[in-house]
Structure 1
Amino acid sequence: MIALWDTTATEVVSALASERHSSGGTSGLALNLVVIVDEKGEREAEAALTLAAQQHPCRLLIVVRRDDHQGQPRLDAEIVVGGRLGPCEAVVMRVYGPLAHHAESVVMPLLAPDVPVVTCWFVPPPQRTAEDPLGAFAERRISYSARSQDALEALRSRADDYSPGDTDLCWTRITYWRSLIASAFDTASAPAASVRITADASDPSAVLLAGWLTVRLGVTPVIDDTPVHRNSEHLPAIKAVAITLANGDDIAISRSDEGHTQLRRTGFPDRSQILNGRTLGELLAEELRHLDPDQPYAAALASCTADPALCGGSEKEAAS
């Protein structure tokens, strides 16, 4: 491990090359992972990134934005190769003052050549991620709308500035729900006639699920707004999904506060499983498994944000 205080990008590049040489480097880097965090979330982010790096060997560039009221720009860097952050080449950059808003000047010289770049914001993302200096050079851009002050407004912003390669960890949170619903339709004998979601209507994951169901089933769900107990911030605030088919059959998925999930289908035995919240690292690791544009996410995002009834609007707004 090498620590550099009040350093420059040139010194960091040189120190990384030296540490790679002395440590033997890491072979088979799959990607560059650029992650933007704030001081408060640094510890959680490092734990999440350690887990993700175990599944995806990468060059990990962590940008920790510190006090941007400081008058002079300053860069402190910590270089770790194959150490506490897992099997990766990691550079933790703490940026101060005006440099906090121009971190690309430090990040770009450190990118490993000939491998994809993924940029992830564990803080509220910029207004236009694909045009942001830290997102413009990335093939994939991962945000987390749930961490914005107004999560539904953040979804609308993501829809307004969507570019192929964008995705949201709020979408990743509903992978299990989408899998359960899709598996239930393996035995469906008629199309859906109505859909009802019991969820916290302010949760972006619930809204994205509604958008996905609209696209896949051709039926706009009704969201029953209700408080939902969650034992993890990374668990979607969804309690149940009920689907009535055109022939009168029902499909119902419900989740208890303890995490027990039950699937009921007319004419079939009930099926139960545990659906606990995943960690931030597990969500990120899932997203890093595919670097191509996420077309189902794009379709769900466009659908839910185009319908005021789904994305925080009133019935009056939806009818106007």
Structure 2
Amino acid sequence: MIVQMEDTTAAKIEKKLNQLRDENGVVTLGRVLTLVVLAQAGHSEVAVEAANYASHEHPCRIIVHVAHSRTDETRLDAQLRLGGDAGASEVILLHGYGKLAEPTETLVSALLLPDAPIVAWWPHDFPQNPSRSSIGCIAHRRITDSARAGEPYESLSQLSQQYRPGDTDLSWTRITNWRIQLAAVLDQVGPVTVREIVLEGSDVTPSIVLLGVWLSSKLDAPATIITDDSRRGLDRVCLVTDDGAVQLHRPGRTVAVLSQPGQPDQQIAMPVRDLNACLAEELRRLDADEVYGEIITSGLATAQITTRTAGQDTEQDAASGTADSPEGAEGTREAGNE
């Protein structure tokens, strides 16, 4: 069921939801959280699709604020999606114009589920300080996506400076499978000294930088990111040890090959993670991600990371050299291919 409401208010929307619940019984009340999505005009449907997918695992009320032009006449249009049109949730799309193009606590407060955690998600650009924004202040978790922001590497640096417990970034979530497999490999090989870490992919995306920082911080070894335009996303991580190279290589999009000294190659299921899977993972926890907090703050500032193009010997600092480089501009297109 889809209901359109033009030039309305949050109070009228809540009243309409209660009316539909009484008349049709299409909405249940077993919601575990409120997901507030702060989207941009023209990009909201992708975010709604991901939220709907995640809602099958985490039943919730989804409030999507779509920011339109601030120069338009101030008004609020809404669309209510219930039942089959909203997955396992109820979706409220708020199209804000003029002064209402700015999402605020006042605008959404009447629509929040009582006594339920609040998760705020910025699918693209996000405020200078997410935790101090009007919506971020009331949220238990704050999800950003530096890879899809206008300036990915400036955004990564910004998140590092403004981090507060409860913040997370989907560029970090995209490398969950890589971290799980690499940690399992190191547990399997036992105590070993890693001399160097090499990460290879199509470009220097925020996800590759975060993976390099995590590995460098945990293994106390320098990391080098090698880029090659013929590749697609992150596809190889090599740990150079005294006993030989331990390598995890994903040449396609579903299966990775693990190579270890003295052992036959092993195939591992490791599909590329899409936006739906990443958002669903982040909604599984409402506590702070302490590992991400450590990596985005102290790790990003102190890790030994360099980057170079395949076939070139010139290296540059990943944190300072990629933000304005051609590789940095390309990185946004590869978001989701880690």
Q: Normalization by structure 1: what TM-score?
A: 0.89
- Residues 67 and 97 in structure 1, CA contact (< 8 A), matched pair in contact too: yes
The CA deviation string for residues 297-318 of structure 1, in whole angstroms up to 9 with x for no partner, is 1122121244574643259xxx
The residue correspondences of 1:21-60 to structure 2 (distance < 5 A) are 21-24=22-25, 25-60=27-62
The CA deviation string for residues 16-62 of structure 1, in whole angstroms up to 9 with x for no partner, is 22223334332321111000112221221222111111111001101
Measure, in 2, the Cα distance between the counterparts of 1:2 and 1:313.
Answer: 49
The CA deviation string for residues 90-110 of structure 1, in whole angstroms up to 9 with x for no partner, is 211111112111443221111
Alignment equivalent of 1:266, drawn from 261, 265, 268: 261
Residue matched to 1:280: 275
- Residues 33 and 61 in structure 1, CA contact (< 8 A), matched pair in contact too: yes
Q: What SS is found at the alignment partner of 1:284?
A: helix
Residue matched to 2:249: 254
Measure, in 1, the Cα distance between the counterparts of 2:57 and 2:23.
Answer: 24
Residue matched to 1:171: 172
The structure in which a higher percent of residues are helix is 2
- Residues 195 and 222 in structure 2, CA contact (< 8 A), matched pair in contact too: no
- Residues 23 and 81 in structure 1, CA contact (< 8 A), matched pair in contact too: no
Measure, in 1, the Cα distance between the counterparts of 2:97 and 2:38.
Answer: 13
Alignment equivalent of 1:296, drawn from 287, 291, 298: 291
Structure 1: runs of 5+ lacking an equivalent? 231-236, 316-320
Measure, in 1, the Cα distance between the counterparts of 2:154 and 2:285.
Answer: 27
Residue matched to 2:229: 227
- Residues 152 and 202 in structure 1, CA contact (< 8 A), matched pair in contact too: no
Supply the AA of the counterpart residue of 2:163: Y
Supply the AA of the counterpart residue of 1:299: E
Measure, in 2, the Cα distance between the counterparts of 1:88 and 1:228.
Answer: 41
The residue correspondences of 1:199-214 to structure 2 (distance < 5 A) are 199-200=201-202, 202-214=204-216
- Residues 304 and 311 in structure 1, CA contact (< 8 A), matched pair in contact too: no
Measure, in 1, the Cα distance between the counterparts of 2:31 and 2:253.
Answer: 39
- Residues 240 and 255 in structure 1, CA contact (< 8 A), matched pair in contact too: yes
The residue correspondences of 1:62-73 to structure 2 (distance < 5 A) are 62-70=64-72, 72-73=73-74
Residue matched to 2:239: 243
In the TM superposition, residue 275 of structure 1 has moved relative to its aligned partner by: 3.5
Q: Classify 1:9/1:165 alpha carbon distance in 2 versus 1 (closer, same or farther; 3 Å).
A: same
The CA deviation string for residues 119-139 of structure 1, in whole angstroms up to 9 with x for no partner, is 001121111000011111001
The residue correspondences of 1:136-175 to structure 2 (distance < 5 A) are 136-175=137-176
Aligned length: 307
Residue matched to 1:87: 88
Measure, in 2, the Cα distance between the counterparts of 1:84 and 1:203.
Answer: 34
- The answer as to 2:195 corresponding to 1:197 is no
Q: Normalization by structure 2: what TM-score?
A: 0.85
Q: What SS is found at the alignment partner of 1:186?
A: helix
Higher mean Cα deviation, 19-28 or 4-13? 19-28
Supply the AA of the counterpart residue of 1:192: V
